[in-house]
A and B are shown apart, each in its own frame.
Chain A
Protein backbone atom coordinates (compact mmCIF):
# COMPACT_ATOMS: atom_id res chain seq x y z
CA UNK A 1 0.00 0.00 0.00
CA UNK A 2 1.48 3.31 -1.14
CA UNK A 3 0.16 6.42 0.51
CA UNK A 4 1.17 9.80 -0.82
CA UNK A 5 0.20 13.20 0.47
CA UNK A 6 2.06 16.26 -0.79
CA UNK A 7 1.55 19.97 -0.39
CA UNK A 8 4.20 21.97 -2.09
CA UNK A 9 4.51 25.34 -3.74
CA UNK A 10 7.11 26.05 -6.38
CA UNK A 11 8.21 29.67 -6.19
CA UNK A 12 7.46 31.70 -9.32
CA UNK A 13 11.01 32.15 -10.48
CA UNK A 14 13.63 30.31 -12.42
CA UNK A 15 16.03 30.01 -9.52
CA UNK A 16 17.79 26.79 -8.73
CA UNK A 17 15.65 23.80 -7.92
CA UNK A 18 12.26 25.40 -8.26
CA UNK A 19 9.44 26.00 -10.68
CA UNK A 20 9.82 23.29 -13.31
CA UNK A 21 6.71 24.51 -15.11
CA UNK A 22 8.36 27.22 -17.18
CA UNK A 23 9.05 29.44 -14.21
CA UNK A 24 5.44 30.11 -13.17
CA UNK A 25 4.26 29.52 -9.64
CA UNK A 26 2.93 26.03 -9.24
CA UNK A 27 1.00 24.47 -6.41
CA UNK A 28 1.06 20.78 -5.75
CA UNK A 29 -1.88 19.41 -3.75
CA UNK A 30 -1.69 15.66 -4.11
CA UNK A 31 -3.21 12.93 -2.04
CA UNK A 32 -3.82 9.32 -3.02
CA UNK A 33 -3.66 5.74 -1.85
CA UNK A 34 -2.84 2.84 -4.07
CA UNK A 35 -2.60 -0.89 -3.53
CA UNK A 36 -0.53 -1.71 -6.58
CA UNK A 37 1.55 -3.64 -7.27
CA UNK A 38 1.67 -1.28 -10.27
CA UNK A 39 0.45 2.28 -9.82
CA UNK A 40 0.27 4.45 -12.92
CA UNK A 41 0.55 8.22 -12.73
CA UNK A 42 -1.10 9.77 -15.75
CA UNK A 43 -1.95 13.23 -16.92
CA UNK A 44 -0.88 15.98 -19.27
CA UNK A 45 2.58 17.56 -19.20
CA UNK A 46 2.97 19.87 -16.27
CA UNK A 47 0.42 17.99 -14.17
CA UNK A 48 3.02 17.30 -11.49
CA UNK A 49 3.76 13.65 -12.23
CA UNK A 50 7.53 14.02 -11.99
CA UNK A 51 7.18 16.08 -8.81
CA UNK A 52 5.24 13.24 -7.21
CA UNK A 53 7.87 10.72 -8.30
CA UNK A 54 10.63 12.97 -6.92
CA UNK A 55 8.80 13.37 -3.64
CA UNK A 56 8.59 9.58 -3.35
CA UNK A 57 12.28 9.07 -4.17
CA UNK A 58 13.35 11.97 -1.95
CA UNK A 59 14.85 14.17 -4.66
CA UNK A 60 12.12 16.72 -3.90
CA UNK A 61 11.66 17.83 -0.33
CA UNK A 62 8.10 19.13 -0.14
CA UNK A 63 7.02 21.83 2.27
CA UNK A 64 4.51 19.43 3.74
CA UNK A 65 4.19 15.77 2.94
CA UNK A 66 3.59 12.25 4.15
CA UNK A 67 4.75 9.36 2.01
CA UNK A 68 4.47 5.79 3.23
CA UNK A 69 4.94 2.39 1.66
CA UNK A 70 3.49 -0.42 3.75
CA UNK A 71 4.63 0.36 7.27
CA UNK A 72 7.68 2.30 6.10
CA UNK A 73 7.45 6.09 6.40
CA UNK A 74 9.75 7.98 4.04
CA UNK A 75 8.52 11.47 4.73
CA UNK A 76 6.37 12.84 7.48
CA UNK A 77 6.92 16.56 7.77
CA UNK A 78 4.48 16.77 10.69
CA UNK A 79 6.69 14.34 12.64
CA UNK A 80 9.89 15.94 11.32
CA UNK A 81 10.84 12.80 9.42
CA UNK A 82 12.65 12.91 6.10
CA UNK A 83 14.61 9.88 4.96
CA UNK A 84 17.30 10.98 2.46
CA UNK A 85 17.12 9.38 -1.02
CA UNK A 86 20.12 7.09 -0.51
CA UNK A 87 18.49 5.45 2.52
CA UNK A 88 15.07 4.87 0.97
CA UNK A 89 15.90 1.88 -1.17
CA UNK A 90 13.67 3.20 -3.93
CA UNK A 91 14.93 2.54 -7.44
CA UNK A 92 14.43 5.06 -10.23
CA UNK A 93 14.56 4.72 -13.98
CA UNK A 94 14.86 8.10 -15.63
CA UNK A 95 13.61 9.05 -19.07
CA UNK A 96 16.77 8.43 -21.06
CA UNK A 97 18.37 6.15 -18.52
CA UNK A 98 20.82 8.63 -16.97
CA UNK A 99 23.51 5.96 -17.10
CA UNK A 100 26.86 7.03 -15.67
CA UNK A 101 28.84 7.97 -18.79
CA UNK A 102 32.24 7.31 -17.20
CA UNK A 103 31.42 3.75 -16.17
CA UNK A 104 30.99 0.62 -18.27
CA UNK A 105 27.62 -1.12 -18.49
CA UNK A 106 28.91 -3.71 -16.02
CA UNK A 107 29.92 -1.03 -13.54
CA UNK A 108 26.62 0.77 -14.03
CA UNK A 109 24.76 -2.42 -13.20
CA UNK A 110 26.92 -3.09 -10.15
CA UNK A 111 26.80 0.48 -8.81
CA UNK A 112 23.82 -0.09 -6.53
CA UNK A 113 25.36 -3.24 -5.04
CA UNK A 114 28.43 -1.35 -3.80
CA UNK A 115 26.39 0.28 -1.06
CA UNK A 116 24.52 -2.77 0.18
CA UNK A 117 26.11 -4.63 3.03
CA UNK A 118 23.69 -7.55 2.75
CA UNK A 119 24.65 -9.52 -0.32
CA UNK A 120 22.04 -12.17 0.45
CA UNK A 121 19.86 -13.00 -2.52
CA UNK A 122 21.56 -10.45 -4.71
CA UNK A 123 21.59 -11.15 -8.40
CA UNK A 124 24.93 -10.90 -10.19
CA UNK A 125 25.50 -8.43 -13.02
CA UNK A 126 25.81 -11.32 -15.46
CA UNK A 127 22.52 -12.87 -14.42
CA UNK A 128 20.71 -9.55 -14.61
CA UNK A 129 22.26 -8.86 -18.01
CA UNK A 130 21.02 -12.23 -19.25
CA UNK A 131 17.54 -11.52 -17.97
CA UNK A 132 17.45 -8.20 -19.82
CA UNK A 133 19.21 -9.44 -22.95
CA UNK A 134 22.19 -7.12 -22.59
CA UNK A 135 25.02 -9.62 -21.91
CA UNK A 136 26.85 -8.56 -25.07
CA UNK A 137 26.99 -4.94 -23.85
CA UNK A 138 28.62 -5.44 -20.47
CA UNK A 139 32.01 -4.01 -21.40
CA UNK A 140 30.71 -1.09 -23.42
CA UNK A 141 30.29 2.52 -22.38
CA UNK A 142 26.74 3.95 -22.27
CA UNK A 143 27.53 6.41 -25.10
CA UNK A 144 27.72 3.50 -27.58
CA UNK A 145 24.28 2.08 -26.69
CA UNK A 146 20.97 2.62 -28.47
CA UNK A 147 18.03 4.17 -26.63
CA UNK A 148 16.41 0.80 -25.97
CA UNK A 149 19.65 -0.71 -24.72
CA UNK A 150 20.23 2.24 -22.38
CA UNK A 151 16.78 1.75 -20.90
CA UNK A 152 17.38 -1.95 -20.32
CA UNK A 153 20.64 -1.17 -18.53
CA UNK A 154 18.92 1.53 -16.49
CA UNK A 155 16.21 -0.93 -15.43
CA UNK A 156 18.85 -3.52 -14.57
CA UNK A 157 20.87 -0.99 -12.62
CA UNK A 158 17.85 0.02 -10.55
CA UNK A 159 16.89 -3.62 -9.90
CA UNK A 160 20.42 -4.67 -8.91
CA UNK A 161 20.13 -2.42 -5.85
CA UNK A 162 17.12 -4.58 -4.90
CA UNK A 163 14.68 -1.71 -4.41
CA UNK A 164 11.53 -2.05 -2.34
CA UNK A 165 9.81 0.13 -4.94
CA UNK A 166 10.66 0.99 -8.52
CA UNK A 167 9.86 4.41 -9.97
CA UNK A 168 9.61 4.52 -13.74
CA UNK A 169 9.32 8.10 -14.97
CA UNK A 170 8.24 7.84 -18.60
CA UNK A 171 10.84 5.12 -19.10
CA UNK A 172 9.97 4.62 -22.75
CA UNK A 173 9.33 8.20 -23.85
CA UNK A 174 12.48 8.25 -25.95
CA UNK A 175 11.77 4.91 -27.65
CA UNK A 176 9.83 4.08 -30.81
CA UNK A 177 6.76 1.85 -30.75
CA UNK A 178 8.71 -1.24 -31.73
CA UNK A 179 11.20 -0.92 -28.87
CA UNK A 180 8.40 -0.15 -26.42
CA UNK A 181 6.77 -3.43 -27.33
CA UNK A 182 10.02 -5.24 -26.56
CA UNK A 183 10.65 -3.57 -23.20
CA UNK A 184 7.12 -3.84 -21.86
CA UNK A 185 7.54 -7.57 -21.07
CA UNK A 186 10.55 -6.65 -18.92
CA UNK A 187 8.32 -4.54 -16.68
CA UNK A 188 5.81 -7.38 -16.52
CA UNK A 189 8.54 -9.74 -15.35
CA UNK A 190 9.61 -7.25 -12.70
CA UNK A 191 6.01 -7.07 -11.52
CA UNK A 192 5.19 -10.77 -11.71
CA UNK A 193 8.50 -12.56 -11.03
CA UNK A 194 10.57 -10.19 -8.91
CA UNK A 195 7.50 -8.86 -7.10
CA UNK A 196 8.84 -5.34 -7.02
CA UNK A 197 6.02 -2.81 -6.80
CA UNK A 198 6.14 -0.13 -9.46
CA UNK A 199 5.07 3.48 -9.84
CA UNK A 200 4.76 4.04 -13.55
CA UNK A 201 4.54 7.50 -15.12
CA UNK A 202 3.30 7.52 -18.68
CA UNK A 203 1.30 9.33 -21.32
CA UNK A 204 0.65 6.08 -23.09
CA UNK A 205 -2.69 4.59 -22.05
CA UNK A 206 -2.01 1.26 -23.76
CA UNK A 207 1.05 0.71 -21.60
CA UNK A 208 -0.84 1.80 -18.53
CA UNK A 209 -3.72 -0.53 -19.28
CA UNK A 210 -1.33 -3.41 -19.74
CA UNK A 211 0.71 -2.85 -16.59
CA UNK A 212 -1.19 -0.93 -13.98
CA UNK A 213 -3.52 -2.04 -11.20
CA UNK A 214 -4.22 1.49 -10.06
CA UNK A 215 -4.36 4.64 -12.13
CA UNK A 216 -3.97 8.07 -10.56
CA UNK A 217 -4.93 10.81 -12.96
CA UNK A 218 -3.21 14.15 -12.25
CA UNK A 219 -4.01 17.53 -13.67
CA UNK A 220 -2.55 20.91 -12.77
CA UNK A 221 -0.98 19.66 -9.56
CA UNK A 222 -4.11 17.90 -8.31
CA UNK A 223 -5.60 14.43 -8.36
CA UNK A 224 -8.53 14.40 -10.81
CA UNK A 225 -9.43 10.74 -10.69
CA UNK A 226 -8.28 7.47 -9.16
CA UNK A 227 -9.11 4.04 -10.44
CA UNK A 228 -7.98 1.11 -8.34
CA UNK A 229 -7.94 -2.64 -8.21
CA UNK A 230 -7.63 -3.46 -11.89
CA UNK A 231 -6.43 -6.99 -12.47
CA UNK A 232 -4.54 -8.44 -15.35
CA UNK A 233 -5.35 -11.61 -17.17
CA UNK A 234 -2.36 -13.87 -17.42
CA UNK A 235 -1.51 -14.64 -21.04
CA UNK A 236 -1.47 -18.40 -20.36
CA UNK A 237 -5.04 -18.28 -19.08
CA UNK A 238 -6.89 -16.84 -22.06
CA UNK A 239 -10.25 -15.22 -21.48
CA UNK A 240 -11.62 -16.61 -24.76
CA UNK A 241 -13.16 -19.83 -23.30
CA UNK A 242 -15.28 -17.74 -20.96
CA UNK A 243 -16.91 -15.92 -23.83
CA UNK A 244 -19.30 -18.63 -24.93
Chain B
Protein backbone atom coordinates (compact mmCIF):
# COMPACT_ATOMS: atom_id res chain seq x y z
CA UNK B 1 0.00 0.00 0.00
CA UNK B 2 2.96 2.32 0.33
CA UNK B 3 3.68 2.81 -3.35
CA UNK B 4 2.54 6.17 -4.55
CA UNK B 5 0.83 5.65 -7.82
CA UNK B 6 0.39 9.26 -8.92
CA UNK B 7 2.52 12.17 -7.83
CA UNK B 8 2.07 15.78 -8.92
CA UNK B 9 5.10 17.99 -8.44
CA UNK B 10 4.67 21.73 -8.55
CA UNK B 11 2.07 21.28 -11.26
CA UNK B 12 1.02 24.41 -13.11
CA UNK B 13 -1.49 24.96 -15.85
CA UNK B 14 -1.99 28.46 -17.17
CA UNK B 15 -4.31 29.46 -19.97
CA UNK B 16 -3.53 32.43 -22.16
CA UNK B 17 -6.59 34.52 -22.90
CA UNK B 18 -7.04 37.93 -24.45
CA UNK B 19 -7.55 39.39 -21.00
CA UNK B 20 -4.47 37.91 -19.41
CA UNK B 21 -3.14 34.65 -18.09
CA UNK B 22 -5.59 32.51 -16.18
CA UNK B 23 -3.66 30.66 -13.54
CA UNK B 24 -6.09 27.77 -13.25
CA UNK B 25 -3.63 25.53 -11.46
CA UNK B 26 -0.71 27.29 -9.89
CA UNK B 27 1.89 25.05 -8.39
CA UNK B 28 0.26 22.18 -6.58
CA UNK B 29 1.82 19.12 -5.02
CA UNK B 30 0.04 15.97 -4.07
CA UNK B 31 0.46 12.24 -4.18
CA UNK B 32 -2.00 9.38 -4.22
CA UNK B 33 -0.83 6.12 -2.63
CA UNK B 34 -2.07 2.92 -4.21
CA UNK B 35 -5.53 1.78 -3.11
CA UNK B 36 -6.39 5.13 -1.59
CA UNK B 37 -8.99 7.69 -2.45
CA UNK B 38 -7.79 11.26 -2.47
CA UNK B 39 -10.62 13.78 -2.34
CA UNK B 40 -10.02 17.05 -4.08
CA UNK B 41 -12.48 19.65 -2.84
CA UNK B 42 -13.00 23.24 -3.89
CA UNK B 43 -15.52 25.76 -5.09
CA UNK B 44 -16.27 26.24 -8.75
CA UNK B 45 -13.41 27.92 -10.52
CA UNK B 46 -10.82 26.69 -8.06
CA UNK B 47 -9.13 24.51 -10.67
CA UNK B 48 -10.20 21.03 -9.58
CA UNK B 49 -11.28 19.90 -13.00
CA UNK B 50 -8.19 21.36 -14.64
CA UNK B 51 -6.10 19.15 -12.39
CA UNK B 52 -8.13 16.15 -13.50
CA UNK B 53 -7.84 16.98 -17.18
CA UNK B 54 -4.12 17.59 -16.90
CA UNK B 55 -3.62 14.19 -15.32
CA UNK B 56 -5.69 12.65 -18.09
CA UNK B 57 -3.52 14.37 -20.67
CA UNK B 58 -6.25 16.53 -22.08
CA UNK B 59 -4.01 19.49 -21.33
CA UNK B 60 -0.27 19.74 -21.31
CA UNK B 61 0.98 21.19 -18.02
CA UNK B 62 2.61 24.62 -18.24
CA UNK B 63 5.22 23.59 -15.71
CA UNK B 64 5.83 20.85 -13.20
CA UNK B 65 5.59 17.11 -13.41
CA UNK B 66 3.09 14.33 -13.09
CA UNK B 67 4.54 10.96 -12.23
CA UNK B 68 2.60 7.75 -12.73
CA UNK B 69 4.30 4.79 -11.09
CA UNK B 70 7.53 6.75 -11.29
CA UNK B 71 7.18 7.49 -14.98
CA UNK B 72 6.90 11.09 -16.15
CA UNK B 73 3.59 11.55 -17.95
CA UNK B 74 3.42 15.31 -18.11
CA UNK B 75 2.54 15.56 -21.76
CA UNK B 76 -0.54 15.37 -23.92
CA UNK B 77 -2.46 12.14 -24.21
CA UNK B 78 -1.64 11.58 -27.87
CA UNK B 79 2.03 11.50 -27.02
CA UNK B 80 1.52 8.97 -24.27
CA UNK B 81 2.00 5.27 -24.92
CA UNK B 82 -1.25 3.37 -25.30
CA UNK B 83 -0.48 1.00 -22.44
CA UNK B 84 -0.33 4.01 -20.15
CA UNK B 85 -3.66 5.39 -21.30
CA UNK B 86 -5.24 2.06 -20.52
CA UNK B 87 -4.20 2.44 -16.89
CA UNK B 88 -5.72 5.88 -16.33
CA UNK B 89 -9.43 6.44 -16.88
CA UNK B 90 -11.97 9.12 -16.04
CA UNK B 91 -15.67 9.39 -15.18
CA UNK B 92 -17.15 12.76 -16.05
CA UNK B 93 -19.65 14.85 -14.17
CA UNK B 94 -22.64 14.76 -16.48
CA UNK B 95 -23.41 11.35 -17.95
CA UNK B 96 -26.00 12.98 -20.20
CA UNK B 97 -23.29 14.64 -22.24
CA UNK B 98 -20.37 12.28 -21.79
CA UNK B 99 -22.15 9.35 -23.44
CA UNK B 100 -22.93 9.41 -27.14
CA UNK B 101 -26.73 9.44 -27.55
CA UNK B 102 -26.49 7.74 -30.95
CA UNK B 103 -24.63 4.67 -29.75
CA UNK B 104 -26.12 1.77 -27.85
CA UNK B 105 -24.71 0.85 -24.48
CA UNK B 106 -22.98 -2.11 -26.08
CA UNK B 107 -21.24 0.09 -28.63
CA UNK B 108 -20.21 2.51 -25.93
CA UNK B 109 -18.69 -0.23 -23.79
CA UNK B 110 -17.02 -1.99 -26.70
CA UNK B 111 -15.14 1.04 -27.94
CA UNK B 112 -12.43 1.15 -25.27
CA UNK B 113 -11.96 -2.59 -25.68
CA UNK B 114 -11.47 -2.21 -29.43
CA UNK B 115 -9.10 0.71 -29.10
CA UNK B 116 -6.85 -1.17 -26.74
CA UNK B 117 -7.11 -4.45 -28.60
CA UNK B 118 -8.66 -6.22 -25.67
CA UNK B 119 -11.54 -7.84 -27.55
CA UNK B 120 -11.28 -11.56 -27.03
CA UNK B 121 -13.44 -12.60 -29.95
CA UNK B 122 -15.16 -10.76 -32.72
CA UNK B 123 -18.30 -9.82 -30.87
CA UNK B 124 -17.60 -8.37 -27.46
CA UNK B 125 -20.94 -9.50 -26.10
CA UNK B 126 -19.49 -11.57 -23.30
CA UNK B 127 -17.13 -8.89 -22.17
CA UNK B 128 -19.86 -6.26 -22.26
CA UNK B 129 -22.06 -8.59 -20.23
CA UNK B 130 -19.34 -8.91 -17.64
CA UNK B 131 -19.02 -5.13 -17.42
CA UNK B 132 -22.76 -4.67 -16.99
CA UNK B 133 -22.76 -7.30 -14.27
CA UNK B 134 -19.98 -5.45 -12.54
CA UNK B 135 -22.15 -2.35 -12.18
CA UNK B 136 -25.31 -4.39 -11.57
CA UNK B 137 -27.23 -3.30 -14.62
CA UNK B 138 -29.63 -5.72 -16.35
CA UNK B 139 -28.04 -7.39 -19.36
CA UNK B 140 -30.70 -6.23 -21.81
CA UNK B 141 -29.47 -2.67 -21.28
CA UNK B 142 -26.81 -3.58 -23.81
CA UNK B 143 -29.17 -2.79 -26.65
CA UNK B 144 -30.62 0.37 -25.19
CA UNK B 145 -29.66 3.89 -26.10
CA UNK B 146 -28.62 6.27 -23.36
CA UNK B 147 -31.68 8.47 -23.59
CA UNK B 148 -33.87 5.53 -22.63
CA UNK B 149 -32.20 5.03 -19.26
CA UNK B 150 -32.18 7.14 -16.10
CA UNK B 151 -29.46 9.51 -14.93
CA UNK B 152 -28.08 7.18 -12.27
CA UNK B 153 -27.95 4.26 -14.67
CA UNK B 154 -26.22 6.39 -17.30
CA UNK B 155 -23.54 7.19 -14.77
CA UNK B 156 -23.21 3.45 -14.09
CA UNK B 157 -22.61 2.94 -17.82
CA UNK B 158 -19.97 5.67 -17.74
CA UNK B 159 -18.31 3.90 -14.80
CA UNK B 160 -18.42 0.58 -16.65
CA UNK B 161 -16.79 2.25 -19.64
CA UNK B 162 -14.00 3.61 -17.47
CA UNK B 163 -13.43 0.15 -16.01
CA UNK B 164 -13.51 -1.62 -19.38
CA UNK B 165 -9.76 -1.40 -19.88
CA UNK B 166 -9.04 -2.66 -16.38
CA UNK B 167 -7.33 0.53 -15.20
CA UNK B 168 -5.48 0.99 -11.94
CA UNK B 169 -6.17 4.69 -11.50
CA UNK B 170 -9.56 6.35 -12.03
CA UNK B 171 -10.32 10.05 -11.89
CA UNK B 172 -13.88 10.74 -10.74
CA UNK B 173 -14.84 14.27 -11.70
CA UNK B 174 -17.93 15.08 -9.59
CA UNK B 175 -19.55 11.78 -10.55
CA UNK B 176 -22.69 12.36 -8.50
CA UNK B 177 -23.26 16.10 -8.42
CA UNK B 178 -25.82 15.92 -11.23
CA UNK B 179 -27.80 13.23 -9.38
CA UNK B 180 -30.28 13.05 -6.50
CA UNK B 181 -29.17 12.01 -3.03
CA UNK B 182 -30.98 8.69 -3.17
CA UNK B 183 -29.23 7.75 -6.41
CA UNK B 184 -25.94 9.22 -5.26
CA UNK B 185 -25.79 6.84 -2.30
CA UNK B 186 -26.13 3.85 -4.59
CA UNK B 187 -23.42 4.96 -7.00
CA UNK B 188 -20.99 5.84 -4.24
CA UNK B 189 -21.48 2.47 -2.56
CA UNK B 190 -20.86 0.74 -5.87
CA UNK B 191 -17.70 2.75 -6.45
CA UNK B 192 -16.38 1.89 -3.00
CA UNK B 193 -17.08 -1.77 -3.52
CA UNK B 194 -15.40 -1.75 -6.93
CA UNK B 195 -12.40 -0.06 -5.41
CA UNK B 196 -12.04 -2.90 -2.96
CA UNK B 197 -12.69 -5.66 -5.50
CA UNK B 198 -10.44 -4.37 -8.25
CA UNK B 199 -7.83 -2.64 -6.09
CA UNK B 200 -8.40 0.73 -7.72
CA UNK B 201 -6.96 4.06 -6.79
CA UNK B 202 -9.28 7.04 -7.04
CA UNK B 203 -8.89 10.75 -7.35
CA UNK B 204 -12.32 11.97 -6.34
CA UNK B 205 -13.21 15.52 -7.27
CA UNK B 206 -16.21 17.12 -5.60
CA UNK B 207 -17.51 20.21 -3.91
CA UNK B 208 -19.52 18.23 -1.39
CA UNK B 209 -17.57 18.03 1.85
CA UNK B 210 -19.99 15.81 3.72
CA UNK B 211 -19.76 13.28 0.91
CA UNK B 212 -15.98 13.48 1.12
CA UNK B 213 -16.08 12.73 4.83
CA UNK B 214 -17.62 9.37 4.11
CA UNK B 215 -15.60 8.17 1.16
CA UNK B 216 -12.13 9.65 1.00
CA UNK B 217 -9.09 8.48 2.87
CA UNK B 218 -7.38 11.82 2.45
CA UNK B 219 -8.75 15.24 1.54
CA UNK B 220 -7.09 18.15 -0.22
CA UNK B 221 -8.78 21.54 -0.32
CA UNK B 222 -8.17 23.76 -3.33
CA UNK B 223 -8.66 27.49 -3.49
CA UNK B 224 -7.84 29.50 -6.59
CA UNK B 225 -5.46 27.06 -8.16
CA UNK B 226 -3.60 26.26 -4.97
CA UNK B 227 -3.99 23.56 -2.39
CA UNK B 228 -4.53 25.16 0.99
CA UNK B 229 -4.87 22.15 3.25
CA UNK B 230 -4.28 18.41 3.05
CA UNK B 231 -5.15 15.95 5.80
CA UNK B 232 -6.58 12.52 6.38
CA UNK B 233 -10.36 12.57 6.28
CA UNK B 234 -10.98 12.08 9.99
CA UNK B 235 -8.22 14.46 11.10
CA UNK B 236 -9.50 17.00 8.64
CA UNK B 237 -12.96 17.20 10.16
CA UNK B 238 -11.73 16.98 13.72
CA UNK B 239 -9.17 19.69 13.40
CA UNK B 240 -9.50 21.99 10.39
CA UNK B 241 -6.74 24.57 10.48
CA UNK B 242 -6.96 26.81 7.44
CA UNK B 243 -9.51 29.64 7.80
CA UNK B 244 -10.95 28.80 4.39
CA UNK B 245 -11.52 25.22 5.43
CA UNK B 246 -13.26 26.39 8.57
CA UNK B 247 -15.45 28.68 6.52
CA UNK B 248 -16.32 25.84 4.15
CA UNK B 249 -17.14 23.43 6.93
CA UNK B 250 -19.27 25.86 8.85
CA UNK B 251 -21.27 26.67 5.72
CA UNK B 252 -22.49 23.12 5.16
CA UNK B 253 -26.16 22.72 5.91
CA UNK B 254 -26.56 19.53 7.96
CA UNK B 255 -29.50 17.33 8.89
CA UNK B 256 -28.92 16.30 12.50
CA UNK B 257 -27.92 17.63 15.88
CA UNK B 258 -24.86 15.43 16.17
CA UNK B 259 -23.48 16.87 12.97
CA UNK B 260 -24.16 20.39 14.16
CA UNK B 261 -21.86 19.74 17.10
CA UNK B 262 -19.10 18.56 14.79
CA UNK B 263 -19.01 21.73 12.81
CA UNK B 264 -16.47 24.36 13.76
CA UNK B 265 -17.74 27.59 15.21
CA UNK B 266 -19.67 29.58 12.63
CA UNK B 267 -17.32 31.50 10.40
CA UNK B 268 -19.42 33.96 8.46
CA UNK B 269 -18.47 33.67 4.84
CA UNK B 270 -18.15 36.84 2.88
CA UNK B 271 -16.80 38.09 -0.41
CA UNK B 272 -16.54 36.32 -3.71
CA UNK B 273 -13.86 34.14 -5.19
CA UNK B 274 -11.53 36.53 -7.01
CA UNK B 275 -11.05 35.99 -10.70
CA UNK B 276 -8.10 33.72 -11.46
CA UNK B 277 -6.95 36.24 -14.08
CA UNK B 278 -5.63 38.56 -11.43
CA UNK B 279 -5.05 36.55 -8.31
CA UNK B 280 -4.54 38.86 -5.33
CA UNK B 281 -0.91 39.18 -4.21
CA UNK B 282 0.26 37.31 -1.14
CA UNK B 283 -2.11 34.68 0.18
CA UNK B 284 -4.87 34.24 -2.40
CA UNK B 285 -7.47 33.95 0.34
CA UNK B 286 -6.65 37.13 2.26
CA UNK B 287 -9.52 39.14 0.75
CA UNK B 288 -12.10 36.88 2.38
CA UNK B 289 -10.12 35.77 5.39
CA UNK B 290 -11.67 36.60 8.77
CA UNK B 291 -8.36 36.46 10.63
CA UNK B 292 -6.02 38.07 8.14
CA UNK B 293 -2.94 39.90 9.26
CA UNK B 294 -1.14 42.70 7.52
CA UNK B 295 1.54 40.50 6.00
CA UNK B 296 -1.01 38.19 4.38
CA UNK B 297 -1.50 40.58 1.49
CA UNK B 298 2.27 40.67 0.95
CA UNK B 299 3.73 37.23 1.33
CA UNK B 300 2.47 34.00 -0.09
CA UNK B 301 2.44 31.45 2.73
CA UNK B 302 4.40 28.21 2.53
CA UNK B 303 3.04 24.75 3.20
CA UNK B 304 3.52 24.03 6.91
CA UNK B 305 3.25 20.68 8.59
CA UNK B 306 0.90 20.71 11.56
CA UNK B 307 0.47 17.03 12.22
CA UNK B 308 0.92 13.53 10.84
CA UNK B 309 0.14 13.86 7.14
CA UNK B 310 -1.55 17.18 7.75
CA UNK B 311 -0.18 20.20 5.92
CA UNK B 312 -1.61 23.69 5.64
CA UNK B 313 -0.78 26.75 3.63
CA UNK B 314 -1.26 29.63 6.04
CA UNK B 315 0.93 32.06 7.99
CA UNK B 316 -0.81 31.41 11.28
A and B: bona fide binding partners: no
